[in-house]
Structure 1
Amino acid sequence: MPSAAERTRTLVQSTCSAVLLIPGVDAARSEQLTPQARVVGQDGEVFLLFPADSPAVRAATHAQDDELAAVLEITDVAPVSVPHRIRGRAWVSGRLTCAPGVAEPGGMMLRLEVGEACVDDLWGASSVEPEDFAQASVDPLVAHETELLQHLHSAHSEQVQALCGLLGERRAMGVPPTEGWGDAGANAQRAVPLALDRFGLRVRFVGGQSFDARFDFPTPVRDVVELRRAMHTLFEAASH
């Protein structure tokens, strides 16, 4: 499974929605505290692009030499329609300063020096040390996950549904049914591709007693080409 540091780093560098929480900047609308872009630097710091007149930039500018604490909160929502769509959240907290001269005119890059981080997602909740965050790798499928899951859902729904045959008596491989999911009635279970990473595919079976199932690839994939081979092997196994 991906480490907590890798999962956190992947969320930070994904297209998931994010908001920068700054003590004392409570009156600003959430969209005013949403960075236009974010990237992780060589030393593990997180660079956040904002309009030069944003509340976040004003707070960082006025703080000057004072310590300005901030938390980057990231929310990961499944890109396909499924009950309980929030797949996880990550929080990266630390000291916020301006990085003048980095952004284009009209913008300002803010630098978040990571003090601590944590993630709470489909794998569980874990804290992450700054050094581990700085050294972690980003999942190679993160830039393509949304379109890949949507494609699986729309064009390969029958093959995804057939994966249920691989479960046998172990209906929920590693992830027990979640309380409150059993109210979907007596409808036949519908398989929805929920998450994809270099290690495998997670499917949510919805209807009746709903549950998640994890289908691991024989070996971790490094790109979309290897992913296609891994998915073909998975579907082939389910067809027999």
Structure 2
Amino acid sequence: MPSAAERTRTLVQSTCSSVLLVPGLQVVHPVQLMPDSRAVGPEGDLFLGFAADSPAVRAATHAQGDELTAALELTDVAPVSVPHRIRGRARITGWLTAVPGLAGPGRMTLRLEFGEASVDDLWGAEMVEPDAFRDAVADPLVTHEAELLQHLHAAHGEQMATLATLLGERTATGRAAGVPRAVPVALDRFGLRVRFIESAAACFDARFEFPDPVRDVGELRRAMHTLFEAAAH
């Protein structure tokens, strides 16, 4: 399974929503605290893009030499329609400073020096140490995951449903009323997570591991072909 640091790094480098919280800073519109770009530096610090006149930029600029604490909260929502769509949350706390000269006109980059982090997702809740986050690498499928899950859901629904045959006794009761609906809910280099929906009030997740971790979309296609073949026999 991916480590807590890798999962957190993947969230930072994904397209999931995020908001920067600065103690004492009040805004009229929450979108003012949502960075429009996120990047991770070589030391594990986060670089966040904002409009130059945003409240977060003003707060960081006025703080100058004083330490300004802040927290970046990320919320990961499944890109397909399923019950319980929030797949995970992460929170990274640290110290905020403005970094002039990195962004274009009308923009400002803020650096959040990594202090500590936590992640609570489909794998569970864990703390993330600074060194582990710095050395972690985002999942290689992160930039394609949303479209891949949407494609599997829209174009391969029948094949997704066959995966229930690999679950053994888990769906024995569900099969009496028909095969549960299978929705792909998460994808990473190690495998595919599927949410099986048995009724309006009952669903469960199953994880299907790939024979070997995949490194790109090409290897993913081969891994999915192998998985669907196994379900068909």
Q: TM-score range by the shorter chain?
A: over 0.9
Corresponding residue for residue 205 of structure 2 = 212
Q: Percent of counterpart pairs with the same letter?
A: 71
Deviations 1:2-48 (A, max 9, x none): 00000000000100000000101123421000001010011110000
Residue 231 of structure 1, aligned match among 212, 217, 224 = 224
Q: Distance in 2 between matches of 1:187 and 1:85?
A: 24
Residue 195 of structure 1, aligned match among 175, 186, 206 = 186
Q: Distance in 2 between matches of 1:127 and 1:61?
A: 30
What code does the residue aligned with 2:186 have?
A
SS at match of 1:163: helix
Q: Distance in 1 between matches of 2:210 and 2:27?
A: 47
Question: Which shows bigger deviation, 195-204 or 26-35?
Answer: 26-35
Corresponding residue for residue 174 of structure 2 = none
What code does the residue aligned with 1:130 have?
P
Q: Distance in 2 between matches of 1:188 and 1:135?
A: 43
2:183/2:195 contact within 8 Å kept: yes
What is the TM-score when the length of structure 1 is the normalising length?
0.92
Corresponding residue for residue 180 of structure 1 = none
1:28/1:55 contact within 8 Å kept: no
What code does the residue aligned with 1:81 have?
S
In the TM superposition, 1:1-240 aligns within 5 A as 1-170=1-170, 189-208=180-199, 209-240=202-233
- What stretches of structure 2 of length at least 5 have no aligned partner? 172-176
1:4/1:126 contact within 8 Å kept: yes
Q: Distance in 2 between matches of 1:237 and 1:207?
A: 22
Equivalenced residue count is 226
2:164/2:179 contact within 8 Å kept: no
What is the TM-score when the length of structure 2 is the normalising length?
0.95
2:161/2:179 contact within 8 Å kept: no
Runs ≥4 residues deviating over 2 A: none
Q: Distance in 2 between matches of 1:132 and 1:41?
A: 14
